[in-house]
Amino acid sequence: MHYYQFHIGDYKSHTHHLSLLEDLAFRRLLDHYYLHELPIKQSEIARQIGMKDHEQDVLTVLNEFFVSTEDGYINPRADIEIEQFRNFAEAGKRGAAKRWSKPAYSPPIQEANSPPNATPIATNNHKPITINTVSTPEGVSITVWHDFQKLRKTLKAPITETAMDGIRREADKAGYTLNQALTVCVERSWRGFKADWITDKQEPTKSNGILAGAI
């Protein structure tokens, strides 16, 4: 996995107590974990991330933000992101294979009594297909975006740039991030978001970051 979303606000709120070396170790551990998609071996990791002279800082971060198992240290939140990435990739492969396996188009065979240049009768059986062309917005987790797409599809409401701009504006009015606004939409089955609809004035949660354990 060569890409993962990084929520700056969540990261800062949960790592502000780290020293410079611990912070460096954490970032390198995350990059290593997402890149290799395997449990981390304590005996090897300090050298692998270029911090063999700072093994204690690396171990401190492992014990705080990762979970020790028989196979090595894992990060449950990262595992969720990796699994979703694999599922999307596999779905893409299946879709491509299905498209390429379709037989080549052949024109319909005319009836024996049809004139040579007869025009095919138009039908209205084929409905236009609406395609969501908006990619995952910056700062929105893959999980929230995937759930919001499913909700809009169920409500037969295509996701457009205009619709997303409206949600961003209303989220700003309510003091919400876009990720938090979309989370509320999914939780309450809203096709959109209005600041006036929010009655709970408590501080919105920030549980949709990329980290696990204490994060």
pLDDT in tens, 45-66: 999 999 989 999 999 999 989 9
Q: What is the pLDDT of residue 118?
A: 53
Residues 125-144, mean pLDDT to the nearest whole number: 73
How far does CA 151 lie from the centroid of its chain?
Answer: 15
Q: What is the pLDDT of residue 49?
A: 92
pTM passes above 0.75:
no
Q: What is the pLDDT of residues 3-35, one digit of tens each?
A: 677 778 878 888 889 999 999 999 999 999 899
Residues 100-111, mean pLDDT to the nearest whole number: 66
Domain with CATH 1.10.10 in the chain: 8-75
How large a percentage of the chain has pLDDT more than 90? Answer: 37
**Angle CA 50–69–55, to nearest 5:** 25
As a whole number of angstroms, the distance between CA 186 and CA 179 comes to 11
CB within 8 Å of 59: residues ≥ 6 apart? 42
Please give the single-letter amino acid code of residue 164: M
Ramachandran category for residue 68: left, alpha or beta (phi over 0 → left; psi -120 to 50 → alpha): beta
Provide the CATH number for the domain formed by 8-75 in this structure: 1.10.10
DSSP structure class, residue 196: G
Average pLDDT, the chain: 80
Helix, strand and coil content of the chain, in percent to the nearest 5, comes to: 50, 5, 45
